[in-house]
Amino acid sequence: MRLIIIGGGISGLSLAYFLLERDPALDIIVLESEKRAGGKIWTDRVDGFLCESGVNGFLDNRPMTLKLTAKLGLAPLRSSDAARKRYIFSDRKLHLLPESPASFFSSNLLSLYGRLRIIYEIFVPKGKEDDETLANFARRRLGREAYEKLIDPMASGVYAGDPETMSLRSCFPRIYELEKKYGSLIKAMLKLQKEAKKTGKKVGPGPGGVLSSFYDGMEVIITTLRNYLVERLRTSSRVISIDRKANNYLVYLSDNSKIEAEAVVITTPAHVASKIVKDFDKKLSLALNGMFYPSISVVCLGFRKEKITQPDGFGFLVPYREGRKILGTLWDSSIFPNRAPEGYVLFRSMLGGARASELAMQDENRLITMVMDELKTIMGIKAQPDFVKVYSHEMGIPQYSVGHLKRLETIEGIMSRHTGLYLTGNSYRGIGVNDCIENSYKLSEHIIGK
């Protein structure tokens, strides 16, 4: 059986691995339009600095990613203990994000009223909407202040999203399920902690886990999968359309060549998939084209340690209410080793996202100036950087807006008519590395069978 995978990001590469693991005799071809595979997982080593263009890690709480790395002979690197310290820039200063109930009540990140309002959450009735925005959910359950200072920057940090349009159920299904089951997040935490004492397993309302990567960056997993697939992976191979020929599919490439196969899996972003299937199924193309992909830029800055003052920790996020140009900054050299030369630090700042997409696509000098201005205000950094690297991702991160689940139902209904054609990737059921790998594993089960 010949199977073509369109897209050589982590979804396509891990899917190819899982399929070959189940059936080594499969004739698999992975087609990647760019010169390099990996999608948003891209690591550069420049002048001794290790820069991640996008994805900087994964949480070690999902077994399938850990199983895959073990099979590939890779040793994940857990983030430092210092990385547990995370900050929110609010009211013109950095606040340490509380790590425990005791530190929460002693923190001045929220006003006394804001803290008491969170306690009142236990009395708030269940929501009636089946698909509610994250903003409405947070204001309803936790109050406006907690939403603006805690939930809003979290949404920016994970999705670069706008909580006023993000679907709670699609973006944070665990939180949605806990409210439905327990009626309150506080009640849920208390019951989960009680269960944890009995089972010995650590449970909670959040995703949990420790941020992990690899000593030489996230691209290590891409390189290893690429070396495993060897000639099965074809880069600089852009697919422009597909068609049906009897029981097979024809895949047409931009160099006027075509490949015939019994099955095709499209792992590209939904807006790219929409163009590929435009002439094959217009309804499917229209459904795939309905997702918003804002642009995002990453600005990496390296400094000599003696030039700056930096708190120890993971970095900081900025609530939208602060009116700043950046979404946040990660102190990469504090999170993982081998990110900066001896005597230097490396920061990684994000701009753009759902509420300021156009900001991300300005020229590099403008982006650098904006980040430097922000770090001067937020961290008091006046020195010029010793190292600069900028990455701009046009249409970078898929947004799961309210109505996302209905869109998925529509897509799945259309796809059911096309035997041998499949979709996966971060456009559908989870944007993180863990989600992509787990969904690829499930799809391999479906295609080959258990």
**What are 4-27's pLDDT values in tens digits?**
999 999 999 999 999 999 999 999
23-35 pLDDT, tens digit each: 999 999 999 999 9
* Placement of tokens 């249409």 in the chain: 395
259-301 pLDDT, tens digit each: 999 999 999 999 999 999 999 999 999 999 989 999 999 999 9
Residue 196 pLDDT grade (very low, low, confident, very high; cuts 50, 70, 90): confident
pLDDT at 231: 96
pLDDT at 195: 81
Q: What's the rounded mean pLDDT across residues 144-155?
A: 96
305, pLDDT greater than 60? yes
110-208: CATH number: 1.10.3110.10
Between 125-139, 302-316, 334-348, the lowest mean confidence (pLDDT) is in 302-316
128, pLDDT greater than 80? yes
Which residues share a beta bridge with 401? 166
Q: What's the order of all strands across the beta sheet hosting 27-31? A: 233-234, 27-31, 2-6, 263-266, 421-423
Domain positions in the chain: 2-38+218-292+399-448, 110-208, 294-393
User: In angstroms, rounded to a whole number, what is the distance separating the alpha carbons of residues 315 and 232?
Assistant: 40
pLDDT at 207: 59
Q: What percent of the chain has pLDDT over 90?
A: 91
pLDDT at 202: 56
User: In angstroms, rounded to a whole number, what is the distance separating the alpha carbons of residues 379 and 262?
Assistant: 56
pLDDT at 194: 86
- Mean pLDDT, the chain, rounded, equals 95
204, pLDDT greater than 60? no
Residue 203 pLDDT grade (very low, low, confident, very high; cuts 50, 70, 90): low
Q: What's the rounded mean pLDDT across residues 107-132?
A: 94
* Global pTM value: 0.94
Residue 335 pLDDT grade (very low, low, confident, very high; cuts 50, 70, 90): very high
201, pLDDT greater than 70? no
pLDDT at 100: 80
> Could you give the angle at which helices 10-22 and 433-448 cross, rounded to 10 degrees?
40
Q: What's the rounded mean pLDDT across residues 339-349?
A: 97
SS3 20: helix
| DSSP code for 150 | I
62-114 pLDDT, tens digit each: 999 999 999 999 999 999 998 899 999 999 999 999 888 788 888 899 999 99
Q: What's the rounded mean pLDDT across residues 152-157?
A: 94
pLDDT at 193: 85
Write down the architecture of domain 294-393 according to CATH: Alpha-Beta Complex (3.90)
Task: Give me the CATH topology for the region 2-38+218-292+399-448.
Answer: FAD/NAD(P)-binding domain (3.50.50)
Answer positive or negative: Cα dihedral of 177, 206, 398, 360.
Answer: positive
Q: Is 294-393 the same fold as 2-38+218-292+399-448? A: no
Residues 6+ apart with CB under 8 A from 285: 274, 275, 277, 278
